[in-house]
């Protein structure tokens, strides 16, 4: 059912007492003039004073109140009023769309796409309903944080009232913004917002980088009207802002005013810049390109509700602004443009796939002249209204970018507040695990990382309970890492990071040898019945050379062990020769013989099953001594495994 099937407003007025008819006319006049909070309140009173039996009027007043609350961005009250209109069977199908939109913003219904789908069954191919369905389908992607942003409520700026919009001075040391915090009793609440009129405020940094408390902008900028959404030119000489008067006799029209710098921190009285020949056509949300040559702003009469337009600054008043076209503007509203350079535009829209309400988008100018638009994702965007992003022209060194944006996400009243964002630099990360030689994690191992750029100031990190560690490094840098832990030998590693053009992670694991227990060479092999080392033994022996060179204070015993086969004398002699073979190799690699002691034990020291060996061979209980009596009780297959485990070469720290 369409609006045409509703009881016409004029007929409704004829059927009501004169006093009540005047109330309706007053409410409708306020709505037409853009005084949405006033209109919502009037329609709300009409709704509450109407008998429940008068279902049609009850539904009409509830819907009109809801529409005005929505336009005033009081989403909670808008949703309640829309639901009341549904309870009283408001007949227009647009109600279904509005309820779905409110559910998306408030997220009270996890599957809010169903409301949009139901509306599509009534109005196929509706633009905004299709947006809702597609937004839900892409919800996980939209919630990603592709720009590595950290967001927080900017307590240094906000009050209990609305705080929004913003502009940095060119040096990044002052920030201007809009706020309704003025408590002047002479100021009446705005019929548009229900708050005191917005004024411009600013904060400034001291020599230590600490922000001052917010103070109102001095000079002739702030008046009894609304001033908001400031923009400061790149040379710092001019301040553009939105100016809007509320008058009972005239429709509210936003205009762009300009003020000039006058003295330290002061500004001259603002004056209107004539954007349009038609004085009643709105112009708001000004921003200037980094060159200072182009003004971007918001107005109506384009592709949808509000669109973004441009005009050369030198041609203001003498030429007609240009609509930025369909690659930027939609059938919804586009607001709060902000330029970075001359080819990157940030803006907010409620006419694109998004999380709900207004979301913030980034548009990049292509060589074709078209703009490629990207959703900024979470946490910049939320289900509530998000808009007015601005960047600090001089971000702190540790950030790629930082600035502020406005959002109503934290206020049930729908009041916007300022949030700060910081985009962290490209991350070059070193991570890994520290294990013992049986591959069990070592907790509390200390890793010292020495950079070629600051060798006298090593970085330090410790391993967690699972042996994991991580630390961020610089790109294109040589590093030396020393890993150590109590009762373990040290281990070194060297590596170089690549140039930091994108996030990169380097993994370096450490396997530390014990100082207090014997360690088994895992892969030492000899020719059968000989003491000659086989080629495949070199890898483990090279690791031993590295350990000894990295721990020059350590002396070790190299011990060799045999299985139960053969006589004691024969096995003892063979194991002594095999231990000496390892000593000879280590000596040939530069390890002093004074640090090495060979020892053959024959079959006198059967192996004891460790937790790791029990994991590999569940049939062998942890702590079991693999002596001949135990082995003879096993199957032939398990006997062979036990004999193999007993044939081993170990090293033990002795000093």
Instruction: For residue range 484-507, list pLDDT tens digits in order.
Output: 999 999 999 999 999 877 789 999
What pLDDT is attached to residue 81? 96
Helix (H) or strand (E) holding 421: strand 417-424
Per-residue confidence at 269, pLDDT binned at 50, 70, 90? Answer: very high
Contact in structure between 255 and 244 (CB atoms under 8 Å): yes
Find where tokens 């002795």 sit: 654
pLDDT score of 545: 92
**CATH value of 524-654 in 3.40.605.10, 3.40.50.720, 3.40.50.2300, 3.30.1330.60:** 3.30.1330.60
H/E element, 568: helix 568-588
Contact (CB, 8 A) for 40 and 72: yes
More confident residue, 167 or 547: 167
What's the CATH fold of domain 20-143?
1.25.40
Looking at domain 428-514, its CATH architecture is: Sandwich (2.60)
SS3 (DSSP) at 365: strand
Please answer whether residues 234 and 225 qualify as being in contact, where contact means their C-beta atoms are separated by less than 8 angstroms.
no
CA dihedral 292, 293, 299, 305 (to 10 degrees): -90
What DSSP designation does 217 have? Answer: P
Per-residue CA distances from 26 to 13, 46, 65, 344, 545 (Å):
11, 11, 13, 44, 93
Residues pairing with 480 in the sheet: 450, 494
Closest CA relative to residue 162, chosen from 189, 134, 144: 189
User: What span, in angstroms and rounded, lies between the C-alpha atoms of 62 and 83?
Assistant: 8
**CA 476 centroid distance within chain:** 26
Residue 439 banded pLDDT, cuts 50, 70, 90: confident
Q: What is the mean pLDDT of residues 407-427?
A: 89
Would you kindly state where each structural domain of the chain is located, as residue ranges?
A: 20-143, 149-424, 428-514, 524-654
| Average pLDDT of the residues in 134-145 | 88
* CB of 282 closer than 8 Å to CB of 254: yes
Residue 620: half-sphere exposure toward Cβ, Cα within 13 Å: 27
Q: Which residue, 419, 651, 641, 405, is CA-closest to 520?
A: 651
Answer yes or no: same fold for 20-143 and 149-424.
no
**Is the pLDDT at 2 greater than 50, yes or no?**
no
Q: What is the mean pLDDT of residues 595-602?
A: 93
Per-residue pLDDT for 5 more than 50?
A: no
Least confident range from 72-81, 408-417, 447-456, 587-596: namely 408-417
Which is nearest to 31 in space by CA: 58, 70, 57? 70
Alpha-carbon distance of 306 to 301, in angstroms, equals 7
Task: Judge whether residue 339 has pLDDT over 90.
Answer: yes
H or E element that contains 312: strand 306-312
Helix, strand, coil percentages in the chain from 3-state DSSP, rounded to 5: 25, 30, 45
Crossing angle (nearest 10°) for helices 18-32 and 36-48: 150
The mean pLDDT of 235-245, rounded to a whole number, is 94
Instruction: Please report which confidence band the pLDDT of residue 458 belongs to, taking 50, 70 and 90 as the band edges.
Output: very high
Asked if the model's pLDDT at residue 1 lies above 50, the reply is no
Place of tokens 């988008």: 361
Q: Tell me the CA end-to-end span of the chain in Å, nearest whole number.
A: 93
Helix (H) / strand (E) containing 119: helix 113-122
Check residues 266 and 346 and name the one with the higher pLDDT: 346
Q: What is the radius of gyration, based on Cα positions, of the chain?
A: 38
Q: How confident is the model at residue 9 (pLDDT cuts 50, 70, 90)?
A: low
- Give percent of the chain with pLDDT exceeding 70: 95
Does 19 have pLDDT greater than 80? no
Tell me the pLDDT tens digit for each residue of 180-206.
998 888 788 888 888 899 999 999 998
State pLDDT tens for residues 501-542. Answer: 778 999 999 999 999 888 887 767 666 678 888 788 888 889
Q: How far apart are CA 180 and CA 189, in angstroms?
A: 10
Order of strands across the sheet that contains 491-496: 459-462, 446-451, 478-484, 491-496
Give the residue, 8 or 613, on which the prediction is more confident: 613
**Residue partners of 348: CB distance under 8 A and separation at least 6:** 334, 335, 336, 358, 359, 360, 361, 385, 386, 387, 388, 389
Q: Which of 429, 434, 428, 465 is nearest to 447 (CA)?
A: 434
pLDDT at 41 exceeding the cut of 80: yes
Mean pLDDT (whole number) for 263-288: 90
Cα torsion through 77, 78, 83, 86, rounded to 10 = 140
Q: Give the burial class of 564: count Cβ atoms within 10 A of its Cβ; 0-12 exposed, 13-18 middle, 19 or more buried.
A: middle
- pLDDT at residue 532, as a whole number: 83
Predicted confidence (pLDDT) at residue 3 exceeds the cutoff of 60: no
Burial 515-525 (b: 16+ CB within 10 A, else e): beebbbbeebe
Tokens representing residue 648 in the block: 């081993």
What letter would DSSP give residue 105? Answer: H
- Cα 619 to Cα 631: distance, rounded to the nearest angstrom: 12
Tokens at residue 189, please?
Answer: 């609440």
Q: How far apart are CA 91 and CA 85, in angstroms?
A: 9
Q: How far apart are CA 655 and CA 595, in angstroms?
A: 9
149-424, superfamily in CATH?
TolB, C-terminal domain (2.120.10.30)
Give the pLDDT band (50/70/90) at residue 248: low
Quick check: pTM over 0.95? no
At 196, list the tokens: 């005191």
pLDDT score for 346: 98
Sorted by sequence, the CB contacts under 8 Å of residue 419 that are 6+ apart come out as 151, 152, 153, 154, 404, 405, 406, 407
Cα separation, 238 vs 294, in Å, equals: 14
Cβ atoms < 10 Å from Cβ of 130: 15
Which positions ≥6 away from 457 have C-beta within 8 Å? none
Q: pLDDT band for position 251 (50/70/90)?
A: low
Q: CA 129, CA 121: separation in Å to the nearest integer?
A: 10
Q: Is 388 helix (H, G, I), strand (E, B) or coil?
A: strand
Query: What are the φ/ψ torsions at residue 162 (nearest 5 degrees)?
Result: -70, 135
- Range with the poorest average pLDDT among 334-338, 514-518, 584-588: 514-518
Among 20-24, 272-276, 473-477, the minimum mean pLDDT is found in 20-24
573-581 own/partner pairs: CB under 8 Å, 24+ apart:
573/600, 573/602, 574/529, 574/531, 574/600, 574/602, 575/600, 575/601, 575/602, 576/600, 577/531, 578/526, 578/531, 578/649, 579/649, 580/531, 581/526, 581/531, 581/532, 581/533
Q: State the DSSP H helix or E strand holding residue 24, giving kind and residue range, or none if neither.
A: helix 18-32
List, in sequence order, every residue forming a beta bridge with 488; answer none if it has no partner: 514
Q: Is the pLDDT of residue 276 over 80?
A: yes
Question: Rounded to an integer, what is the distance from CA 107 to the centroid of its chain?
Answer: 20
Chain center to CA of 192: 33
Q: Is the pLDDT of residue 544 over 50?
A: yes
Interstrand relation of 428-436 and 510-512 (parallel, antiparallel or unpaired): parallel
Nearest to 559 by CA among 535, 582, 538: 582
Beta bridge partners of 406: 387, 418
Q: State the average pLDDT over residues 116-142.
A: 93
Lowest mean pLDDT segment, chosen from 1-10, 353-362, 393-402, 484-493: 1-10
Largest alpha-carbon pair distance within the chain? 124
Average model confidence (pLDDT) for the chain? 90
């Amino acid at each position: 059912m369409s609006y045409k099937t509703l009881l016409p407003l004029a007929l409704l007025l004829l059927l009501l007492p004169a006093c009540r008819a005047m109330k309706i006319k007053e409410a409708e006049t306020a709505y037409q003039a853009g005084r949405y909070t006033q209109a919502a309140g009037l329609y709300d009173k009409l709704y509450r004073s109407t008998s429940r039996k008068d279902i049609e009027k009850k539904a009409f007043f509830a819907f009109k109140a809801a529409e005005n609350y929505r336009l005033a961005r009081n989403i909670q009250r808008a949703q309640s009023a829309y639901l009341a209109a549904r309870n009283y069977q408001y007949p227009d199908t647009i109600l279904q769309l509005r309820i779905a939109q409110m559910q998306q913003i408030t997220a009270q219904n996890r599957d809010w796409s169903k409301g949009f789908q139901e509306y599509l069954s009534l109005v196929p191919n509706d633009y905004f309903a299709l947006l809702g369905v597609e937004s839900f389908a892409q919800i996980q992607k939209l919630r990603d944080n592709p720009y590595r942003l950290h967001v927080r409520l900017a307590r240094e700026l906000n009050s209990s009232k609305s705080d929004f919009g913003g502009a940095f001075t060119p040096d990044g040391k002052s920030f201007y913004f809009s706020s309704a915090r003025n408590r002047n009793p002479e100021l009446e609440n705005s019929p548009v917002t229900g708050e005191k009129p917005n004024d411009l405020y600013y904060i400034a940094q001291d020599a230590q980088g600490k922000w001052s408390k917010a103070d109102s902008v001095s000079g002739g900028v702030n008046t009894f009207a609304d001033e908001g959404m400031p923009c400061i030119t790149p040379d710092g000489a001019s301040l553009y802002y939105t100016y809007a008067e509320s008058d009972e006799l005239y429709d509210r029209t936003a205009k762009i005013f300009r003020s000039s710098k006058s003295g330290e921190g002061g500004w001259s009285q603002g004056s209107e810049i004539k954007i349009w020949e038609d004085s009643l056509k709105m112009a708001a949300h000004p921003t200037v390109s980094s060159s200072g040559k182009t003004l971007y702003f918001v107005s109506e009469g384009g592709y949808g509700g509000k669109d973004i337009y441009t005009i050369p600054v030198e041609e203001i008043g003498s030429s007609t602004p240009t609509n930025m076209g369909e690659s930027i503007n939609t059938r919804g509203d586009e607001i709060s443009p902000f330029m970075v350079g001359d080819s990157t535009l940030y803006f907010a829209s409620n006419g694109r796939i998004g999380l709900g309400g207004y979301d913030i988008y980034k548009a990049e100018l292509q060589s074709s002249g078209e703009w490629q638009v990207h959703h900024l994702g979470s946490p910049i965007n939320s289900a509530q209204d998000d808009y007015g992003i601005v960047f600090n022209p001089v971000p702190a060194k540790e950030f790629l970018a930082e600035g502020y944006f406005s959002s109503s996400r934290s206020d049930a009243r729908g009041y916007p507040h300022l949030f700060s964002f910081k985009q962290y630099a490209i991350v070059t990360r070193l991570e890994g695990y520290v294990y013992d030689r049986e591959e069990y994690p070592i907790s509390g191992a200390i890793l010292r990382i020495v950079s070629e750029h600051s060798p006298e100031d090593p970085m330090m990190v410790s391993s967690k309970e699972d042996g994991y560690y991580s630390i961020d490094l610089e790109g294109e840098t040589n590093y030396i890492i020393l890993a150590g832990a109590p009762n373990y030998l040290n281990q070194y590693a060297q590596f170089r990071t690549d140039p930091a053009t994108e996030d990169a992670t380097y993994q370096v694991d450490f396997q530390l040898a014990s100082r207090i227990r014997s360690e088994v060479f895992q892969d030492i092999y000899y020719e059968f019945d000989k003491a000659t080392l086989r080629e495949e033994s070199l890898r483990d022996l090279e690791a031993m050379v590295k350990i000894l060179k990295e721990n020059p204070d350590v002396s070790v015993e190299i011990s060799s062990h045999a299985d139960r086969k053969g006589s004691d004398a024969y096995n003892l002699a063979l194991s002594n020769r095999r231990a000496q073979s390892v000593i000879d190799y280590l000596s040939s690699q530069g390890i002093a013989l004074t640090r090495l002691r060979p020892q053959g034990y024959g079959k006198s020291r059967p192996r004891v099953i460790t937790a790791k060996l029990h994991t590999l061979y569940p049939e062998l209980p942890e702590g079991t001594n693999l002596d001949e009596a135990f082995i003879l009780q096993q199957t032939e297959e398990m006997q062979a495994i036990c004999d193999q485990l007993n044939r081993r070469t170990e090293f033990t720290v002795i000093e």
